[in-house]
Amino acid sequence: MGMETMQRPGSATQKPANKVRWGELEEDDAEDLDFLLPPPVVTGPDENGIKKITEFKFNDDGNKVKITTTIQVRKLAKARLTKAAIERRSWPKFGDAVHEDVGARLTMVSTEEIRLERPRPPGSKEDTKILGDPMSTLGKPGAVLMVCRTCGKKGDHWTSKCPYKDLAAPPESFSDKPPTPDTATVGTSKSGTYIHPGQRDGAKQLGSEMRPRRNEENSVRVTNLSEDTREPDLLELFRTFGAVSRVYVAVDQKTGMSRGFGFVNFVNKEDAERAINKLNGYGYDNLILRVEWATPRAN
């Protein structure tokens, strides 16, 4: 660490910021003489933390005097770093930081995806609020219950993978007339709407089994739900009985609180029946569920 000349704030022609209150001095032109003073010189801090300041001032008699100040400054932070930390500073940059200027950024934000694994008790499949296991008496151990909520098809694909989920306005898209063939643009209709490959020209038409149904039938009313039971919870609870076409939990529009009841619609009446038989009177979230046929909605 060599000699350093401290840069004063402002230009060299400016009056140094003196602590002396010149206005209290008798000499009127004391301020002007200040220009003649050499700038202060600062050395260090050296390895022992010693900093020396040499500056010049006029004393009360108008004589130029040299003032030297010696200060013990705090040791540099570097001295407190561990050996390992100092060692790391010499490491070459890696990852995204390779392209960074030296010292441009101290930290980098990683965009790497990290999957978290949440441990579960052995044998359990996923979170559930069910007290006990209604499925243990169901005689369907390990049944694969893959039900698409978009088209209602069972065991074929999940909702997120539904071939029809990209289609806007499903009820219209699934009308019985075949889609308009379009030879000009691949994959789009005349209106520019995307058409799934299976629906394009030449693709075979949907069988009735494939077609999603607007099913307001087989509606089951569920009451005595705890107030923090939401639709995903209901779905998890009821989907094991069969294809669920809709779940609904009545919510107070103002408070967002559950009103404690909801509806579950099944694609198949038999599944709804079994759900009623199994889940009515069932303990769920410390409450006893009431599950029964819903009376059709007034419209």
Partner DNA sequence: CATGAGCGC
Interface with DNA (CB under 7 A), residue from 221, 230, 274, 278: 221
Is there binding between residue 284 and DNA (CB under 7 A)? Answer: no
What is the contact mask toward DNA in residues 169 to 208, using x (rule: CB under 7 A)?
Answer: --x-------------------------------------
Count H helices, E strands: the chain? 5, 9
Is there binding between residue 250 and DNA (CB under 7 A)? Answer: yes
Candidates 19-27, 44-52, 218-226, 269-277; binding stretch for DNA (CB under 7 A) = 218-226
Residue 146 CB, nearest approach to DNA (Å): 24
Please name which of 123, 124, 121, 129 lies closest in space to residue 282, comparing C-alpha atoms. Answer: 129
Q: Are 193 and 256 in contact (CB under 8 A)?
A: no
Is there binding between residue 263 and DNA (CB under 7 A)? Answer: yes
Q: Cβ closer to DNA: 135 or 244?
A: 244
Is there binding between residue 130 and DNA (CB under 7 A)? Answer: no
Q: Are 4 and 53 in contact (CB under 8 A)?
A: no
Residue 164 CB, nearest approach to DNA (Å): 16
Q: Cβ closer to DNA: 135 or 225?
A: 225
φ, ψ for residue 222 (rounded to 5)? -120, 120
For the segment 31-60, give every residue that binds DNA (CB under 7 A): none
Please name which of 66, 59, 57, 67 lies closest in space to residue 27, comparing C-alpha atoms. Answer: 59
Q: Are 135 and 240 in contact (CB under 8 A)?
A: yes
Interface with DNA (CB under 7 A), residue from 260, 273, 278, 282: 260
C-beta contacts of 9-18 below 8 A and 24+ residues apart? 12/39, 16/40, 18/57
Residue 79 has which token pair?
Answer: 């001295």
Residue 223 CB, nearest approach to DNA (Å): 4
Is there binding between residue 223 and DNA (CB under 7 A)? Answer: yes
Q: Token match 């209106």: residue? A: 191
Return the C-alpha torsion angle 138, 142, 145, 146, nearest 10. 180
Residue 131 CB, nearest approach to DNA (Å): 17
Q: Which residues bind DNA (CB under 7 A)?
A: 171, 216, 219, 221, 223-225, 248, 250, 253, 259-261, 263, 265, 290, 292, 294-299
